[in-house]
Amino acid sequence: MAFIDLDIDTTYNTSKDDLINNFFVPLLDNSKKYDRGVGYFSSSWINEALEGMLNFANNGGKARWIASPILSKEDWEALQLGDQAKSDEILRKSINNVMEQLFTKCKKLSCIALAWMIADGIIDFKLAKPINKLNNEFHAKIGIFTDNEGNSISFDGSYNDSAYGLENYESIKVFKSWDGTADYVAQEIEQFNRIWNNQDPNIAVFDIPSAAKDDIVKIVRNEPRPYKEPESSKSYFVFDIPRITPPIPEIPKNIKLRDYQNEAISNWFANNCKGIFEMATGTGKTYTALSCAVKLFEQQGRLPVIVLCPYIHLAKQWQEEAEKYGFRPIVVAESKIKWLENAHKTIRDFSQNRLDQCMIITTNTSFQKGELRDLFEQYALYNQALIIADEMHHCGSKEMLKILPPQIPFRLGLSATPSREYDEFGTTSLYDYFGNIVYTFDLKMAIEQGFLTPYYYHPEPVYLTEEEFDEYIDLTNKLTKLHPKEDEPISEAALRIAIKRTRVQNNSISKLFWLQNHIIESNEIHHTIFYTGDKIFSQVLSLLGVEKHLIVHQFTYKENMAERSRLLEAFTRGDLQALVAMKCLDEGVDVPPTETAYFLASSSISREFVQRRGRILRNWPGKDNANVIDLISIPPERFIRSGKSSEDYRVVRSAIKREYLRVKEFSQLAINKYTSLENFVEIADRFDLLSI
């Protein structure tokens, strides 16, 4: 049940309310995430809230708790010195003291449940101690619940998770992410995350040492879980031996590889585990690559894996898929505070033969910064590793090419479009590093074999205004001076001008007029995406949402991961008729329910429009085909009529040729390929382009 369907009040107090049964248990029953920062934590709360915590565990929930450590002044001073070995022992004693008190007073089932939840990673603890201008105790009262739909409820007040908290007069205030108190929820989430990630300059936060977790896990050595075993169980501790034994990586039984995927894997192994998979969007590149990793692990017995991703959301997707295969990846992205310690422990444990698998999933940006590369070099893991580069064309930049580790023996590149346009050096360097393309499964094959949806293509010529085309001509002349030969590598300065010229076409005001005349307010519009340029983005959004009364929402870089997830879920359900997007729907964001796409912004870079097309062709129940309406910017009508007699004939023909080549490529795979070019035949003929 979603939070918005629960009867949750705005205030509670222990005099009139049963906080456990009327507040905590209903929310735990329906949460996927629970964050709690609290000064004191006791057995009474565990006993009272057990029903809710068990349901929380059965529903796959994850909790993060921050509490005060029990420390003497001497221990705290020693902890501040930063000696790792001594710090771990002090923290171990502190957490063991807390747990000993908890487990002494807890009912047996509550004690077992708590220990198992810590062992399984359902509950993750950290200890917090004020520093600098704060010098007493961590006395936070932060609590945030989040449901499966991304709704959040936060609370704060005087209540502690303790016996006294239930017996004293205590009160809490409640805030909800979907009403007028949403800003308070956002502030609480930000505050908790800052403390959890050790980003508050006045609070020192410590992870629980592995040894302390071992001690907790021993409590349940011979006890069954009081809830179902979670899929991502992290209870990898083997008692009485100093070795961590996570699951052995394997291809999940519910994933049946297709014949072409098995062929790709065989080709990669036949090429000494090097090469590139050129596979269309939606054909299972990730599963194919993870299956390669599993089979290589089986062959080698031990394997460190590095996965490179251009974006954080792709890294998160890889994490989810890798866990299905039995890997336990560490995601390296954003601030190193969030990942450095875990990555260091995993790499160290692998190097000391305490682990047989080690997977690090990193964004290209994080890999460039050096900390992760230093760890691999420190523990000499490169010479036995597998590197997988998703959307590998991004690795062809000068910055990435400099840092791709030459010692790595096993290499796999993934992309629907591995070549880098305007960058022959980058393309060649990538092929030199990863190897040649060992398997191709392109868009045509994917459509023909039913792995992607067939589509109709409707290119619509839209005339640039006189002012827009004047700017286009000026940019073309500048570009020609900097880049006179199109078949040679383009300079960065020339590329900037080429991009600016494309933006003129993508942001033509004429496209707004076309929408005004062709989009009709209708409930029949559904599962539709509008790709638009940046300058006319807000106007398109307003035209569709305000003037045409469609239920639309923007989908841009401004939306965080949680918001994007909620938008895609609403789009899938049909609660949103359309999304208005820019480039962020190009790589790695799947929208398979999409049935219609309007391309107001296009690119002359083949990779971008090939990937964009592939995204909307994902199969979906009840989706027999897709429709692509492509607004093609061409010179003003008088230039078209003038043909060869125009003094700007060369620029006009070049502009039409660039667009016509893309239109032809889209048309070739369309259901209506024989009729889709009707609007362009006369124009192409006038400029001698029919034969290209």
Assess whether pLDDT exceeds 90 at residue 465: yes
Segment 234-283, tens digit of pLDDT = 444 433 334 455 678 999 988 999 999 999 999 999 999 999 999 988 88
In total, the chain counts a number of residues equal to 692
Please give the DSSP secondary-structure letter assigned to residue 257.
Answer: -
- Measured CA to CA, the distance from residue 206 to residue 15 in angstroms comes to 36
Residue 141 banded pLDDT, cuts 50, 70, 90? confident
Segment 160-172, tens digit of pLDDT = 554 444 556 778 8
The token pair that represents 547 in the structure block = 């003037």
- Measured CA to CA, the distance from residue 314 to residue 589 in angstroms comes to 8
What pTM was estimated for this model as a whole?
Answer: 0.62
Residue 197 banded pLDDT, cuts 50, 70, 90? confident
* Mean pLDDT in residue range 516-524: 86
Q: How far is CA 211 from CA 166, 217, 218, in A?
A: 32, 10, 11
The token pair that represents 527 in the structure block = 């599962």
| Average pLDDT over the chain, rounded to an integer | 83
The answer to whether the beta carbons of residues 41 and 141 sit under 8 Å apart is no
Assess whether pLDDT exceeds 80 at residue 665: yes
Q: How many CB atoms lie within 10 A of CB 607?
A: 19
What pLDDT is stored for residue 70 in this prediction?
60
Q: How far is CA 483 from CA 87, 420, 422, 682, in A?
A: 60, 17, 11, 30
Burial 484-522 (b: 16+ CB within 10 A, else e): eeeeeebeeebbebbeebbbbbbbbebbbebbeeebeee
Q: Which among 422, 421, 415 is positioned nearest to 437, based on CA atoms?
A: 415
Segment 351-377, tens digit of pLDDT = 878 788 999 999 999 999 888 998 898
The full set of domains in the chain, from first to last, is 3-220 (3.30.870.10), 259-447 (3.40.50.300), 453-686 (3.40.50.300)
What pLDDT is stored for residue 48 in this prediction?
72
What pLDDT is stored for residue 101 in this prediction?
61
Q: How many CB atoms lie within 10 A of CB 470?
A: 14
The 3-state secondary structure of 58-74 reads: HCCCEEEEEECCCCCHH
The answer to whether the beta carbons of residues 588 and 317 sit under 8 Å apart is yes
Per DSSP, helices labelled H in 122-209 are 163-167, 182-196
Higher pLDDT, 68 or 683: 683
Burial 2-40 (b: 16+ CB within 10 A, else e): ebeeeebeeebebeeeebbeebbbbbbbbbebbbbbbbb
586 in helix, strand or coil? Answer: coil
Q: How many CB atoms lie within 10 A of CB 185?
A: 22
The token pair that represents 221 in the structure block = 């050595």
- Measured CA to CA, the distance from residue 642 to residue 663 in angstroms comes to 22
What pLDDT is stored for residue 557 in this prediction?
73
- The owner of tokens 């049964």 is 21
* Mean pLDDT in residue range 63-75: 69
C-alpha dihedral sign at 580, 584, 586, 590: negative
- Measured CA to CA, the distance from residue 584 to residue 598 in angstroms comes to 15
Find the range with the poorest average confidence among 49-58, 154-163, 238-247, 665-674.
238-247
